[in-house]
A and B are shown apart, each in its own frame.
Chain A
Amino acid sequence: EVQLVESGGGLVQPGGSLRLSCAASGFTVRSNYMNWVRQAPGKGLEWVSIIYSGGSTYYAASVKGRFTISRANSKNTLHLQMNSLRAEDTAVYYCARATPNDDNGDPGPFDIWGQGTMVTVSS
């Protein structure tokens, strides 16, 4: 079965750090466009970061310099290291696979999502 399972969320103080994990099954993380998308309580969806199969990474301006996306190929797992956390980072964090666009092969729609893990930044 193709699925993603996140873990690592929790309560952290402002300025603290947290590492999220996303275990994949049914497909290979290193061969796909893997993303983190977050959703603040009662709000919409916000893309956070992507790692390409070749290893290139990109970040939303709101997290650049504080968050780092990576993958552990041997464990077929995606990670998000979050440092210098702020109250506005409070959200459910989803990992999601982006399937390639049919015509140009660039990252396309998010076809597989995990169940999400809650991160709360508060003193």
Chain B
Amino acid sequence: DIQMTQSPSSLSASVGDRVTITCRASQSISTYLNWYQQKPGKAPKLLIYAASSLQSGVPSSFSGSGSGTDFTLTISSLQPEDFATYYCQQSYSTPPTFGQGTKLEI
């Protein structure tokens, strides 16, 4: 199985900050990398697919980049509603696997 490792595991930031979360795959996954946001008690929400494509309805403050084994999710200017846990996930091969999550806190 492909292992996905996110860093950092937690991150403290303020409204208006620019933040970057990193995801590394244990082998090359081309651009088959997706990002999700999850708020407490809620289902995950797809933000970015295919490494850099913005899901419909997601603010343009979110962006993704990378290919091969190294990927990043960037939030250009944090809003109060952005404080949540973020997961990366590879869809290169079965089983699909997730990173351990990055909790973004105030």
Contact = CB atoms under 8 A, between A and B. Distances in A.
A61 B42 CA distance: 26
Interface stretch (A45-53, A70-78, A81-89): A45-53
Interface in A67-123: 94, 98-99, 101-102, 106-111, 113-116
Nearest to B96: A47
Contacts of A107: 91, 94, 96
Contacts, number: 62
Contacts of B97: 47
B44 interface: yes
Interface residues of B, number: 23
A47 B97 CA distance: 7
Given A94-B43, A101-B32, A111-B55, A45 B98 contact: yes
Nearest to B56: A111
A50 B36 CA distance: 19
A108 B34 contact: yes
A58 B94 CA distance: 8
B91 A47 contact: no
Nearest to B42: A115
A10 B59 CA distance: 36
Contacts of A54: none
Nearest to B1: A61
A98 B91 contact: yes
Interface of A: 44-47, 50, 58, 60-61, 94, 98-99, 101-102, 106-111, 113-116
Interface of B: 32, 34, 36, 38, 42-46, 49-50, 55, 87, 89, 91, 94-101
